[in-house]
Amino acid sequence: MSLNIFISTFLGNSFYPQNPRVEDIDIEDIAHGLAYTCRFNGQTTAFYSVAQHSLMVADLVADELKLEALMHDAAEAYLGDVVKPLKALLPEYNVIEAHVSNIIATAFNLGDCGHPAIKRADLIALATEKRDLMPNSVEPWVYLAGIEELPIPLSPMSPQEAKLAFMKRFTELQSSRAIFKF
């Protein structure tokens, strides 16, 4: 494959998935892409974005992990949200996703977005989303064994609301992190 293949972004940037560069990463492209990407391939009772999912995951972790939790799925803004069963069949996708995630982490000076607490929060969000957005999916999902859903039902945001909320949270978390750096 050619390294010249690119994805056009919301802001009109070119993103090269085989050769991602820090200078090609933009938080508005990420917020927009995640806000307009529906979880579960859209197999839900209502539109529910990856941006809103990321906001929930950030709410479920300690303060020092909130920015990484918010950004844990940021690569999906450029690569799409590939569902877990399909992702297992696409090992090359996983390599590309890991590389893009590392470039995003570098661009925003992020720590470990795969921290165990973030992974657990991601599963709690997933269990809650399955309960509230996929009522016909009654079969157990093996990776959710022992994971408790949140007690409060989800209220899906529109893509516009999710984008604004994501951008606001990102700005707040970046600002608070900058204040405490020595």
Residue 106, Cβ neighbours under 10 Å: how many?
Answer: 13
Q: What is the CA radius of gyration of the chain?
A: 16
CA distance 64 to 111: 10
- Strand-pair category, 7-8 with 14-15: antiparallel
Domains of the chain, with CATH numbers? 7-17+25-175 (1.10.3210.10)
Q: Note the pLDDT of residue 3.
A: 65
Q: Note the pLDDT of residue 182.
A: 42
The pair of structure tokens assigned to 107 is: 């661009």
pTM: 0.93
Q: Note the pLDDT of residue 2.
A: 60
Q: Note the pLDDT of residue 181.
A: 52
Q: Note the pLDDT of residue 87.
A: 87
**Going by C-beta distance under 8 Å and a sequence separation of 6 or more, which residues neighbour residue 51?**
31, 34, 35, 37, 159, 162, 163, 165, 166
Q: pLDDT digit of tens for each residue in the chain (182 aa)?
A: 566 889 999 999 999 998 999 999 999 999 999 999 999 999 999 999 999 999 999 999 999 999 999 999 999 999 998 888 888 899 899 999 999 999 999 999 999 999 999 999 999 999 999 999 999 998 989 989 999 999 999 999 999 999 999 999 999 999 987 765 54
CA distance 180 to 122: 26
Give the C-alpha distances (Å, rounded to integers) separating 168 from 29, 63, 155.
14, 16, 19
